[in-house]
């Protein structure tokens, strides 16, 4: 009995086609945002706050992004104009959550979370330390 030999290029084309079909099917699944493990408690607090504000189950609230930032003061980049804040650099996160295509922004310290509407949002400090020339 004679063994059938397949040309190498044909095997490669079939394998790549199968891989492309698999990738297309997997690409339909939502991608979960990756965020620093130490931010987990404030991300969860933001999700719970949003749940109480808009009345949706916490499991439909998706984390779009979590960015580590340094806020210029204890107002966390989302100051209330009727309050005074300690003038101290505050490490925290800018958290963006999404529900049904709507984005919700939260600012946090390492332990406190505040919902921040776009009209109150102030930028975090730039990362100037890494921009200094070497030898300083």
Output the tens digit of pLDDT for each of the chain's 136 residues: 566 565 654 554 455 555 454 444 444 454 556 777 889 999 999 999 999 999 999 999 999 999 999 999 999 999 888 999 999 999 999 999 999 999 999 999 999 999 998 877 787 777 554 444 555 5
pTM beyond 0.75: the answer is no
Structure tokens at 124: 């975090």
Show the DSSP H helices in the chain as ranges: 8-26, 40-54
Show the DSSP H helices in 34-119 as ranges: 40-54
Residue 102 makes CB contacts below 8 A (sequence gap 6+) with: none
């Amino acid at each position: 009995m004679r063994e059938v030999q397949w040309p190498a290029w044909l095997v490669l084309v079939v394998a790549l086609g199968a891989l492309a079909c698999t990738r297309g099917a997997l690409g339909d699944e939502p991608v979960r945002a990756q965020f620093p493990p130490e931010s987990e408690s404030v991300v969860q607090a933001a999700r719970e706050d949003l749940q109480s504000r808009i009345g949706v189950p916490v499991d439909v609230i998706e984390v779009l992004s979590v960015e580590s930032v340094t806020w210029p003061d204890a107002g966390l980049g989302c100051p209330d104009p009727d309050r005074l804040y300690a003038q101290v650099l505050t490490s925290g996160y800018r958290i963006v959550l999404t529900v049904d295509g709507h984005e919700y922004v939260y600012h946090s310290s390492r332990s406190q979370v505040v919902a921040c509407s776009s009209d109150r949002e102030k930028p975090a400090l730039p990362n100037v330390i890494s921009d200094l020339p070497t030898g300083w």
